[in-house]
Structure 1
Amino acid sequence: MNAEPGAVPFAVAFDRQGHVVVAQAGTNAVASYRLDRDDTLTRLSSVATGQAATCWIVAAGGEVYAANAGSGNLSGYATGAGGTLPSIGTFATGAGQVDVAAAPDGRYLYAQTGAAGGLVALRIGAGGTLTKVGEVTVPGAAGGEGVVAL
């Protein structure tokens, strides 16, 4: 077991190289780890998002996207060699973002904005940039949590 006081790991994803990538709500950061044979994690990189309430994370292609519920946006990171996490930018989604999911083909992300009960569709472009392509308010979904992309 690894102890990292104040980190508050909230969600986990795996990058293409098999590194564990964690959204840390306590420090508002994204960190990558190598899973060792003795079931411990060795930290490879940690990057502050500069945002509020970094909670959910999803991998799509060669990038990971952390959802910042308190800031209403996503922080994007390339997954580099050795677990590095170079920033690819911050992308607006909406207030109260509560979850994020990637389409299986790695071409789209879907961000759930719980404050209004919305769902934002974003296309993943070259270099991992995100472009909003649609948005819908789901009746009765305000305050709901959880999104899946099939």
Structure 2
Amino acid sequence: MLINALVEVPSFVLTTIFIDRFGRKHLRIGMQWFSGIFCIIDNLLGSQGIWEVLTTACGVLGIFGMAGTYNLMFMYTMELFPTVVRNAPLGCGMQIIQFRAIIVPFVVIMRSRFALMVFGACGIVGAILIFYLPETLNKPLYGTMNGLVEAQNEFSTLL
């Protein structure tokens, strides 16, 4: 548990450093895939004998990715929406996080390898869904819905 808690600190620091280099969207996709892949690898290895150390390492790396994704969720969500409606999507995101906090212990209590497969699949599917969201790096923050719609119309006419 101590290792799991300590791995979150470098994850938060690295996502904060790399967010302006790789962009919000691509960094979040990468962190979710990172987390999902290592959770699935952890599931496939099992925890018998020599694989125990490797399984622990995969679990810690999965938590590293989850912590980075959590850190990016707040920044990316606030930049996606104009000021007048920003509180609603941020509140929905927080509700989903709280719902996850309620469900996760039940999945873990099952004491099966199924739990890691669920976490890994959620990370990979979530990353695929983020492909449909726009990148917010070096884009202005809009104050109204009309400003956002006008900017999207201008962008689509340039294409």
Give the alignment's TM-score, normalised by structure 2. Answer: 0.24
Larger Rg belongs to: 2
Report which of the two has the higher share of helix. Answer: 2
